[in-house]
Copies of this chain bind each other. A is one copy, B any other.
Amino acid sequence: MNPAVSDYLQTHQDQFLDELKTLLRIPSVSADPAFLPAMTQAAEFLRDQFVGLGFTTEIVKTAGHPIVYAEWLNAPGKPTVLIYGHYDVQPPDPLDLWTTPPFEPTIRDGKIYARGATDDKGQFFTHIKAAEAWIKATGSLPVNLKFVIEGEEEVGSNNLDQFLESNKQKLKADVAVISDTSQYAPGIPAITYGLRGIIACEVTLTGPKKDLHSGIYGGAVANPANMLARLIAQLHDDQGRVQIPGFYDDVLALTTAEREQFAALPFDEKAFLNEVGSPATWGEAGFTSLERRWARPTCDVNGITGGYQGVGPKTIIPSKASAKITCRLVPHQNPEKLLVALEAFLKARCPAGVTLSFQSNHGCPPFVFDPTNKYIDAARTAITTAFGKPPVLMREGGSIPVVATFQQILGLSTLLLGWGQNTDNLHSPNEHFTVADFHRGIHANAALWPELPTA
Contacts and interface: CB of A to CB of B under 8 A. Distances in A.
A237 B313 CA distance: 25
Contacts of A142: none
A397 B298 contact: no
A217 B281 contact: no
Given A293-B220, A303-B318, A215 B229 contact: no
A51 interface: no
Interface stretch (A1-9, A74-82, A184-192, A282-290): A282-290
A347 interface: no
A223 interface: yes
A305 B305 contact: yes
27 contacts: A208-B277, A214-B298, A215-B399, A216-B398, A217-B293, A218-B300, A219-B292, A219-B328, A221-B281, A221-B282, A223-B300, A226-B232, A226-B236, A228-B304, A229-B323, A230-B233, A230-B236, A279-B352, A280-B353, A282-B352, A282-B353, A300-B317, A301-B306, A303-B307, A304-B307, A304-B321, A305-B309
A296 interface: yes
A100 B196 CA distance: 64
B306 A314 contact: no
B301 A307 contact: yes
Interface of A: 196, 198, 200, 202, 207-210, 212-223, 225-226, 228-236, 272, 276-284, 289-290, 292-293, 296-310, 312-319, 321, 323-324, 326, 328, 351-355, 361-362, 396-399
B314 A302 contact: yes
Contact of A397 (B200, B217, B233, B297): B217
Interface centre among A210, A230, A284 (most CB of B within 10 A): A230
Contacts of A314: 302-303, 324
A362 B313 CA distance: 9
Nearest to A293: B220
Contact of A278 (B306, B307, B353): B353
A219 B296 CA distance: 7
A321 B233 CA distance: 14
A292 B300 CA distance: 34
Nearest to A240: B219
A300 B280 CA distance: 29
B209 A277 contact: yes
Contacts of A318: 301-304
A220 B304 contact: no
Contact of A308 (B284, B289, B308, B324): B324
Nearest to A355: B279
A207 to B, nearest CB: 5
Contact of A198 (B217, B315, B355, B398): B315
Given A218-B293, A219-B293, A303-B316, 16 more contacts: A209-B276, A215-B397, A218-B300, A219-B296, A219-B297, A219-B328, A220-B289, A222-B282, A225-B301, A229-B232, A229-B304, A302-B317, A303-B309, A312-B361, A313-B326, A315-B398
Contacts of A208: 276-278
A313 B324 contact: yes
Contact of A354 (B200, B279, B321): B279
Nearest to A294: B219
A299 B236 CA distance: 23
Q: List the 7 closest pairs (A to B, CB-CB), nearest first.
A: A209-B277, A215-B398, A233-B233, A229-B232, A303-B308, A282-B353, A222-B282
Contacts of A398: 213, 215-216, 315
Given A278-B221, A302-B317, A307-B302, A214 B324 contact: no
Contacts of A354: 278-279
Contacts of A230: 229, 232-233, 236
Contact of A235 (B210, B226, B305, B319): B226
Contacts of A298: 214, 218-219
B229 A300 contact: no
